C-alpha cells in the first residue's frame, strides 16, 4: 500500500475529529506529492522518529501530515517557539514544549506521560536540532 493517504486513522490511534482543516491539509500534502508508504499501526501508543531533522519545513510538513491523517500526535518542540503568536497554535496542535538548554529530565517526563496516557502517539527528532550532530 504505497502512494496514497489512508482515508482514516487506525481505530486505536488517538485521533482528531475530521473537519475542514483535515480536508485542507490532506489536499495540500497530496498536491505537494507526499504519499504514505505502508500502513499505520493500529496500536494506542507509538513513538514516531523523524530523522534527519534538517529543515524548518520538516515540522511544517509533519504538522500538515498529522492533521491530514486525523492523527493526534504529540510532537516535541523547543520551548522557545511557544512564546509569541505561535504559542496558542502549537498548544492547539498537541505539541509538547521541551527545554533544551538544561538537563530537564525530558526522557523521564515522556516515560511518565506514556504511563499516564491510555493512548499517545509521540513524535520526536532524536538529534533535537537542525544542525549536523
Tell me: the pLDDT tens digits for 26-85?
Answer: 999 999 999 888 888 999 999 988 887 778 788 889 889 999 999 999 888 888 889 888
Alpha-carbon distance 25 to 43, whole Å? 23
Alpha-carbon distance 78 to 114, whole Å? 19
pLDDT at 2: 45
DSSP letter for 82, please. Answer: G
DSSP letter for 130, please. Answer: S
Nearest to 43 by CA among 11, 79, 70, 84: 11
Alpha-carbon distance 32 to 25, whole Å? 11
pLDDT at 6: 79
Q: Cell numbers at residue 1, please?
A: 500500500
pTM, full prediction: 0.80
> What's the half-sphere exposure (Cβ side, CA atoms, 13 Å) at 56?
1
Amino acid at each position: 500500500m504505497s502512494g496514497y493517504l489512508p482515508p482514516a486513522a487506525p481505530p486505536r490511534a488517538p485521533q482528531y475529529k475530521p473537519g475542514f482543516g483535515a480536508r485542507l491539509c490532506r489536499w495540500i500534502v497530496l498536491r505537494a506529492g507526499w504519499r504514505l508508504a505502508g500502513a499505520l499501526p493500529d496500536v494506542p501508543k507509538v513513538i514516531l522518529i523523524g530523522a534527519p531533522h534538517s529543515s524548518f519545513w520538516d515540522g511544517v510538513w509533519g504538522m500538515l501530515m498529522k492533521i491530514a491523517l486525523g492523527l493526534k500526535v504529540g510532537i516535541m518542540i523547543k520551548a522557545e517557539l511557544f512564546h509569541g503568536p505561535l504559542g496558542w497554535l502549537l498548544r492547539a496542535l498537541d505539541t509538547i514544549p521541551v527545554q533544551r538548554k538544561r538537563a530537564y529530565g525530558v526522557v523521564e517526563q515522556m516515560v511518565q506521560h506514556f504511563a499516564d496516557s491510555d493512548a499517545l502517539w509521540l513524535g520526536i527528532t532524536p538529534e533535537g536540532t537542525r544542525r549536523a550532530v
